[in-house]
Amino acid sequence: MLRYQLSHWEWESFFKDIDVIIVGSGITGLSAAIHLKEQSPRMKVVLIDRGPLPIGASTRNAGFACFGSLSELIDDLNHSSREDVLELVAQRFEGLCRLRERYSDAAIGYQAWGGYEIFREEDAPLYAQCLSVMEDFNKDLRPLIGKDTFVQADAQLPATGLQKVSHLLLNQAEGQLHTGQLMQTLLRKAQSLDILCLGGITVTAREEINGQVVIRTDHGWSIQAKLCLLATNGFAKTLLPELDLQPARNQVLITDPIPGLKLKGCFHYDCGYVYFRNVGQRILLGGGRNQDFSGEETTSLDPNLPVRAYLEQLLRQVILPEQATKIDRWWTGIMGVGPAKKPIIREVGAHTVAAVRLGGMGVAIGTGVGERAADLLLGRG
Ligand SMILES: Cc1cc2nc3c(=O)[nH]c(=O)nc-3n(C[C@H](O)[C@H](O)[C@H](O)COP(=O)(O)OP(=O)(O)OC[C@H]3O[C@@H](n4cnc5c(N)ncnc54)[C@H](O)[C@@H]3O)c2cc1C
């Protein structure tokens, strides 16, 4: 990394008298910055990221506007009380409603095409278990959703073109959005509020000295601010080794456009470890980290070839059987996960808050997490 001194002009214009510095410009960091400026327009808020674009999950995810498939909720019940599971569903659902209201469906590319869970022949016991709890969940969620959330949707199977799938369950209140459009919308909003968004700056250390937060960067700069928010999600352990979270890499592919593609909506498989959807006439498919948990517990953006082979097999045998579809692009993204399916929002210093570990739910909860973290910071200001 090129190390050099900031000029007087650079320091004075960009880095002098910062009220809040936010590290990480994903959904959480951007939402926190926007909330801070809306509460206190005269604050100087600077948002920095190590990448020219964010390099974590927010620009690299699948764009499911989701709040839980039935098997995911059943799995959640193994780790949390029913009350906590329903509370998290409410947070996710309400987070999505607020995002849509605030920025408009057109701006974020939202489509209310539903979220399906697929079951293959070997998943018969899981399907039976899902059916056995479906009515109870529908009853509990009716006050929130206003109708039955989950319905059987086997009749729609032929229209999807899926092969080797025995059953479909539909979550009627889920949708999908355009990940890039959402992030551009948030960025435009931040810029319109005069938030300074800078890419290409990696934070290597943070300390608190004389009531100020001091950030050290890979260019050898020291930047001071009154308050700091760490919104580094799956990378949080670099600066906060004490936090209980791990990175979880995901592999993602997108195909070339497929003339006459029938499939529309978001699809969850294997308790949510595999997900696919249409993006216009293309298929996006990702996940599969349960095929190699230890290999995918990394912050490296490298490919995992066995996991990619597994996903490609699903693409060719289940999603687009007997079609010679070309894969246009592969990429990876990094989530932050932990023992509890809950984000960490807490003070990690007298003048620093962390808002990290958003799991696979950041589209739904990222805005709320950023705002709660900003409020916590303001309470310390
Ligand atoms: C492949 C994939 C698919 C997903 N699909 C969905 C989905 O369909 N629906 C859904 O709700 N959620 C999904 N998620 C999860 C969702 O994307 C995340 O929960 C959400 O984006 C987290 O946002 P964030 O801002 O907290 O973190 P991130 O977007 O990860 O942002 C953290 C930022 O911190 C920066 N950073 C890290 N360390 C430093 C440092 N030392 N110095 C400077 N900058 C640093 C990184 O570059 C990064 O940009 C998916 C995630 C992945 C990886």
Q: What is the pLDDT of residues 68-125, one digit of tens each?
A: 999 999 999 998 999 999 999 999 999 999 999 999 999 999 999 999 999 999 999 9
Average pLDDT over residues 4-8: 97
Shortest-distance atom of ligand 1 to CA 355: 26
Determine contact, residues 35/370, Cβ cutoff 8 Å. Answer: yes
Instruction: Give the alpha-carbon dihedral of 268, 276, 334, 241, to 10 degrees.
Output: 0
Find, among 160, 227, 171, 232, the residue nearest to 203 by Cα.
232
pLDDT bracket for residue 64 (50, 70, 90)? very high
pLDDT for 123 equals 95
Atom 53 of ligand 1, nearest CA residue: 333
DSSP string, 104-130: -HHHHT-B---EEEEE-GGGHHHHHHH
Distance 147 CA to ligand 1 centre (A): 32
Atom 4 of ligand 1, nearest CA residue: 61
Distance 50 CA to ligand 1 centre (A): 13
Q: What is the mean pLDDT of the chain?
A: 96
- What are the backbone dihedrals phi and psi of residue 236, each rounded to the nearest 5 degrees, phi first? -60, -30
Dist CA 193 CA 195 (whole Å): 6
Determine contact, residues 313/298, Cβ cutoff 8 Å. Answer: no
* Percent of the chain whose pLDDT exceeds 70: 99
Token readout for 205 is: 């250390």
Q: CB neighbours of 95 closer than 8 A, spacing ≥ 6? A: 364, 365, 366, 367, 368
Dist CA 211 CA 149 (whole Å): 50
Distance 60 CA to ligand 1 centre (A): 8
Dist CA 360 CA 291 (whole Å): 17
pLDDT for 263 equals 94
> Please, what's the b/e burial string for 163-174 (b: 16 or more CB within 10 A of its CB; e: otherwise)?
eebebbbbbebb
Look at the block and give the residue holding tokens 């930047």.
Answer: 223
Distance 157 CA to ligand 1 centre (A): 33
Distance 247 CA to ligand 1 centre (A): 10
Q: Which amino acid is at 120?
A: R
Token readout for 53 is: 């674009």
Atom 50 of ligand 1, nearest CA residue: 61
Find, among 76, 58, 59, the residue nearest to 67 by Cα.
76
Shortest-distance atom of ligand 1 to CA 249: 53
Shortest-distance atom of ligand 1 to CA 59: 29
Average pLDDT over residues 190-197: 98
- 3-state secondary structure string, 245-313? CEEEEEEEEEECCCCCCCCCCEEEECCCCEEEEEECCEEEEEECHHHCCCCCCCCCCCCCHHHHHHHHH
Radius of gyration of the chain (CA): 21
Shortest-distance atom of ligand 1 to CA 250: 1
Average pLDDT over residues 134-149: 97
Residues lining ligand 1, Cβ inside 6 A: 23-29, 48-51, 54-58, 60-64, 66, 202-203, 231-235, 238, 250, 252, 286, 333-335, 358, 360-364, 366
Distance 177 CA to ligand 1 centre (A): 16
Dist CA 110 CA 313 (whole Å): 29
pLDDT for 322 equals 82
* Percent of the chain whose pLDDT exceeds 90: 96
Shortest-distance atom of ligand 1 to CA 356: 26
Find, among 52, 64, 54, the residue nearest to 252 by Cα.
64
Distance 233 CA to ligand 1 centre (A): 6
Site to probe by mutation for ligand 1, drawn from 21, 22, 50, 230 as the one with most ligand atoms within 8 Å of Cβ, is 50
Determine contact, residues 348/208, Cβ cutoff 8 Å. Answer: no
Find, among 253, 274, 278, 252, the residue nearest to 265 by Cα.
278
Would the pLDDT of 381 be above 80?
Answer: no
Find, among 205, 228, 244, 252, the residue nearest to 373 by Cα.
228
Task: Give the burial class of 336: count Cβ atoms within 10 A of its Cβ; 0-12 exposed, 13-18 middle, 19 or more buried.
Answer: buried
Dist CA 236 CA 345 (whole Å): 12
Dist CA 280 CA 293 (whole Å): 31
Residue 25, CA distances (Å) to 103, 198, 210 in order? 18, 9, 27
pLDDT in tens, 278-301: 999 999 999 999 999 999 999 999
pLDDT in tens, 306-332: 999 999 999 999 999 988 999 999 999
Determine contact, residues 71/137, Cβ cutoff 8 Å. Answer: no
pLDDT for 380 equals 62
Site to probe by mutation for ligand 1, drawn from 275, 299, 358, 369 as the one with most ligand atoms within 8 Å of Cβ, is 358
Would the pLDDT of 49 be above 70?
Answer: yes
pLDDT bracket for residue 271 (50, 70, 90)? confident
70-77 helix and 82-103 helix, angle to the nearest 10 degrees:
140
- Strands 115-119 and 167-171, by their bridges, are antiparallel
pLDDT for 264 equals 95
Q: Which domains does the chain have, with CATH numbers?
A: 8-59+181-244+340-380 (3.50.50.60), 112-174+246-337 (3.30.9.10)
pLDDT for 376 equals 97
- Strands 282-287 and 352-356, by their bridges, are unpaired
